[in-house]
Amino acid sequence: MFDRNGNDSSTYNVENYEFIKKFSPTVGGLIEKEYLRQKNNIELIASENYCSEAVLAACGSCLSWKYAEGYPTNRYSGSETRYYGGTKYVDELEEYCCNQWRQVFHTDYHVNVQPHSGSQANFAAYKSVLKPGDTILSMSLDNGGHLTHGSSVNFSGKLYNVVFYDVDENGYIDMEDVRKKAKSYRPNLILAGASAYARIIDFEQFRDIAKEFGAYFMVDMAHIAGLVAAGEHPSPFGLADIITTTTHKTLRGPRGGLIFARKELAKKVDSAVFPYAQGGPLEHIIAGKAVCAEEAQTSEFKEYAHQVVLNCKAFADEFIKLGFKIVTGGTDNHVFLIDLSDHPFTGKDLQDRLDENGITLNKNAIPGDKRPPKQTSGVRVGTAPMTTRGFKEEDFRKVARRIAEIVKQMDEEFGK
């Protein structure tokens, strides 16, 4: 879609929606509008990114037509494990994809590349080692966790007994609270990972606590996977029993999920994905995941991930300089939260106003938020997509200053 300098230098996507418009003017027209929105807006949503043309092409390939329930042959006993014929080439593709992801993270863990999303990956990961009613210790949605980490409206909160560890007064994970609650509740699984946490996660401390109290240790690294791959964040491999991730955030791949697990959990993980949670895998998306894995091993990707972190620090520092409150006082990764609790408007208000001004981000709860989830007292900001578009530190400082201008106008309008 865009080259690494932010230019739309190809015709692949243009031809794509123009072709669709010949057969469905409505669908093609809506895709065109969304393409132009993405091209013209400043995209700051931390869970989004732009994948390469090669990934897009793989996802739109003839593999879209192929059913392949089950797994490639010879995975365990050498017996046939697909439930459809004609799978010779998708078997090779899927095994290649698994091997590429092991190379990305320098691991010998078992890999399952079939989950349709990060939520599906978490669903299967829990199923592989837990039974309904078992206890999970995790970070709450309010403190930066994900919906699938135990929210009461999600399957995770409905199927399992979830206990949440807290953050301290500065917004950092309170490791003493993690240990205290592990001791009190004796969880079956301790989960580390977040969707809105700006600091380094100490996987070793989590592993030690899980080991002390006999719990499985799981990491959801969906947001930071690209940083882990590039050495910009400590790795959970060799520490966690199970690791899940998406491929479409800092990894810049297609929308989808992955599960990594210690070899002794391989069969449990695979059976939890298929046949328990899913039917036929999306082989066209698995092809996109394989291309993504190849790209994640390049020097260009490592340079990109490093720039994401540099950009995020510069972005957060500029907001602080402009007088904004940033949760945890800064960032170590690709994301941070702006605290709007002292302003007369909500995170939703700012999200909507920025949309009108060509800047896209999302409302987000902050620790101790007194506003409801549909309003929130904060917004989440990420630098991964615009770094793909070629933004550097000064570009993000300019965006911060523009957002500050809009916030000042809103303060006056809402009566601060």
The catalytic residues are 67, 69, 220, 246, 249, 255
Q: Is 189 helix (H, G, I), strand (E, B) or coil?
A: strand
Q: What does DSSP assign to residue 243?
A: E
Tokens 């065109």 sit at which residue? 32
Is residue 137 within 8 Å of residue 122, measured between CB atoms?
no
Pair type for strands 242-246 and 216-220: parallel
Is residue 171 within 8 Å of residue 328, measured between CB atoms?
yes
Q: What does DSSP assign to residue 138?
A: E
Dump strand ranges (E) for 271-397.
Answer: 325-326, 335-339, 359-360, 362-364, 378-382
Pair type for strands 135-139 and 335-339: unpaired
CA 19/CA 1 separation, integer angstroms: 16
Is residue 220 within 8 Å of residue 47, measured between CB atoms?
no
102 is written with which tokens? 């092991």
Residue type for position 281: P
CA 2/CA 36 separation, integer angstroms: 12
CA 85/CA 75 separation, integer angstroms: 17
Question: Within 10 Å of residue 406's Cβ, how many Cβ atoms?
Answer: 15
Pair type for strands 161-165 and 110-112: unpaired
- Element at 220 (helix H, strand E): strand 216-220
From edge to edge, which strands make up the β-sheet containing 335-339?
Answer: 325-326, 335-339, 378-382, 362-364
CA 362/CA 353 separation, integer angstroms: 11
